[in-house]
A and B are shown apart, each in its own frame.
Chain A
Amino acid sequence: EIVMTQSPATLPVSPGERATLSCRASQSLSSNLAWYQQKPGQAPRLLIYGASTRATYIPARFSGSGSGTEFTLTISSLQSEDFAVYYCQQYNNWPLTFGGGTKVEIK
């Protein structure tokens, strides 16, 4: 099973600032990496797939990069609605696996 490791676990950021989240895979994924956003009491929402392709209706301030084993999610200018938990997920192989999450909180 591919192990996904996210860092940091918690990221304090001021509104309007940039947030950079990291995700590392235990083996190469090519670009088969997705990012999700989850707010309290809600289901996750797909943000990015193919490591860098934004899902439908996702604002341009969200961007993804990386390939192989190292990936990054960048939120260019944090809005109030962006404070949430973010998960990376590999879909290169079964079983699908998620990282432990990064909580982006207000600084």
Chain B
Amino acid sequence: QVQLVQSGAEVKKPGSSVKVSCKASGGTFSSYAISWVRQAPGQGLEWMGGIIPIFGTGNYAQKFQGRVTITADESTSTAYMELSSLRSEDTAVYYCARSHTPSIVGATTYPPLDYWGQGTLVTVSS
């Protein structure tokens, strides 16, 4: 059974950065896309970007371009999401999620998100 375990809650100052990890176990890591989705308090779901570990290149929503970096370490089956220049509006629960089928070379999207981490609360406050 695939499990995604995320790092713990963070409290950050405005203008700083946060890096959240997502360790996968119980399945193949490299060929399945990992996405990062956030949810502000009382709000809906927002896709930030993702990565297919075996290909190594992140894909990002325009809204987060230049502020988010998604990476993956195949040796430890861990994905990371780093968000910089934090502001109060970035206060949210951040989820990692794995796609339910493997991705191929030249993919222009990620399959649906079948396995989710438990979420990491990031609070941005002065």
Residues of A within 8 A of B (CB): 1, 32, 34, 36, 38, 43-46, 49, 55-56, 87, 89, 91-101
Knowing A97-B47, A98-B47, say if A91 contacts B117 (CB, 8 Å). Answer: no
Q: Does B53 contact A (CB under 8 A)?
A: no
Q: Give the distance to chain B from A32, nearest Cβ to Cβ, in Å.
A: 7
Q: Which residue of B97, B108, B117, B119 is within 8 Å of A94 (Cβ)?
A: B108
User: Would A96 and B110 be within 8 Å (CB), given that A43-B95, A43-B118, A44-B116 are in contact?
Assistant: yes
**CB neighbors of A among B105-126 (8 A):** 108-114, 116-119
Cα A97 to Cα B109 in complex, Å, equals 11
Are A44 and B114 in contact, CB atoms less than 8 angstroms apart?
no
What A residues does B111 contact at CB under 8 A?
A: 49, 91
Chain A residue numbers with a CB within 8 Å of B116 are 43-45
Complex CA gap A93/B47 in Å reads: 12
**Given A46-B100, A98-B46: A91 and B109 interface contact (C-beta under 8 Å):** yes
Chain A contact surface mostly: loop
Size class of B's contact patch?
20 to 34
Nearest-CB residue, chain B, relative to A32 = B109
23 contacts between A and B (CB under 8 A): A1-B61, A34-B112, A36-B113, A43-B117, A43-B118, A44-B37, A44-B95, A44-B116, A46-B114, A49-B100, A55-B100, A55-B114, A89-B47, A89-B112, A89-B113, A91-B110, A91-B111, A94-B59, A95-B59, A95-B60, A96-B109, A98-B46, A101-B45
Q: Which of B25-74 contact A (CB under 8 A)?
A: 35, 37, 44-47, 49-50, 59-62
Which residues of B line the A interface, CB within 8 A?
35, 37, 44-47, 49-50, 59-62, 95, 97, 100, 108-114, 116-119
Given contacts A43-B95, A98-B46, contact A93 B109 (CB under 8 A): yes
